[in-house]
């Protein structure tokens, strides 16, 4: 059962984090693009793809691919899978051709309500828009990094069941780190002001006070990007800032994997109500 997905566009113009395709040294990238053959669901292709950080479970169409970031096997006693890597459920080629997809009608109704209203950004007002941002760790300078393209099914709409990403780390109850406030500010400021988003210097100064080691070095590098006469630093199309934010994101990934383990426990607890 798929619990959470996040969507990615197919081309570079549409989405800077699009699925890679094209030539490799010994072939081409394996993709989630539907094959030009008859499938159970036309132009819809469920597939498992091997990537550098682990196997991915993806539902591909001609115009986008849906990366599964939370799922659980109902026919085995396995722990819920949380995060971009799905290791407890692998589709072979024959599985991809044979898989039937069943969609929750509540989710279908919610999706239709968004389609019918071009101004809608959500179907449930939880006050936590950052939870709809994807689990990315690169290209913070691109506008296509910040669309609200992540959603969960009705069984795990509770925010404690949502996997952590760099923008929601500030909501973690297990301790405090000096860059959670920074990344929260990046996400919320860009959601609010889009291409005009700017990072206030005071946020960086506050983070540096509690930082140590490599994190502090990166934060000091960000501070050096500010003009002496300006306390606000552009976020979108700022290549220099992006370089430093990508460094922070790499430092953060081991912690996110660890914190997502607690999310898996929350999902398991919720699903046990229906066992």
Residues 168, 14: Cα–Cα separation, whole Å: 24
Q: Is 235 exposed, middle or buried (0-12, 13-18, 19+ CB in 10 A)?
A: buried
d(CA 85, CA 106): 26
Which parts of the chain sit beneath pLDDT 50?
Answer: none
Per-residue pLDDT tens digits for 186-234: 999 999 999 999 999 999 999 999 899 999 999 999 999 999 889 999 9
Residue pair 150/128 in contact (Cβ under 8 Å)? The answer is no
132-162: string of b/e by CB count within 10 Å (b at 16+)? Answer: bbbbbbeebbbebbbbbbbbbbebbeeeebb
The CA–CA distances, whole Å, from 79 to 47, 48, 162, 248 equal: 21, 19, 15, 29
- Between the alpha carbon of residue 167 and those of residues 179, 185, 250, the distances in Å are 10, 8, 14
> From CA 49, how far away is CA 37, in angstroms rounded?
19
- Predicted confidence at residue 175, as pLDDT, reads 56
User: Which pLDDT value is given to residue 74?
Assistant: 86
Instruction: Using the structure block, give the residue that is written with the tokens 């549409």.
Output: 14
Q: What is the CA radius of gyration of the chain?
A: 20
Q: Which residues, in sequence order, are CB contacts of 94 under 8 Å at separation 6+?
A: none
Q: What span, in angstroms and rounded, lies between the C-alpha atoms of 137 and 85?
A: 14
Largest CA distance in the chain: 62
């Amino acid at each position: 059962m798929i619990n959470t997905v996040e969507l990615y566009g197919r081309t570079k113009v549409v989405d800077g984090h699009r699925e890679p395709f094209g030539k490799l040294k010994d072939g081409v990238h394996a993709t989630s693009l539907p094959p030009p053959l008859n499938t159970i669901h036309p132009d819809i292709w469920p597939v498992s793809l091997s990537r550098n950080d682990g196997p991915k479970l993806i539902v591909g169409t001609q115009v986008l691919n849906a990366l599964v970031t939370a799922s659980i096997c109902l026919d085995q006693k396995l722990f819920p899978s949380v995060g971009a890597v799905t290791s407890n459920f692998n589709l072979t080629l024959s599985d991809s051709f044979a898989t039937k997809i069943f969609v929750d009608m509540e989710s279908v109704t919610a999706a239709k309500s968004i389609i019918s209203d071009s101004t809608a950004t959500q179907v449930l007002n939880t006050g936590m828009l950052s939870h709809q941002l994807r689990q990315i760790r690169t290209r913070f300078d691109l506008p296509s990094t910040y669309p609200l393209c992540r959603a969960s099914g009705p069984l795990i709409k509770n925010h404690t069941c949502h996997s952590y990403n760099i923008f929601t780390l500030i909501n973690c109850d297990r301790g405090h780190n000096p860059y959670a406030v920074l990344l929260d500010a990046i996400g919320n400021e860009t959601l609010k002001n889009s291409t005009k988003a700017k990072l206030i210097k005071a946020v960086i100064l506050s983070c540096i006070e509690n930082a140590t080691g490599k994190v502090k070095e990166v934060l000091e590098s960000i501070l050096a990007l500010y003009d002496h006469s300006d306390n606000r630093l552009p976020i979108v199309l700022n290549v220099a800032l992006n370089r430093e934010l990508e460094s922070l994101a790499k430092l953060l990934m081991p912690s996110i994997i660890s914190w997502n383990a607690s999310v898996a426990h929350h999902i398991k607890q919720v699903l046990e109500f229906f066992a």
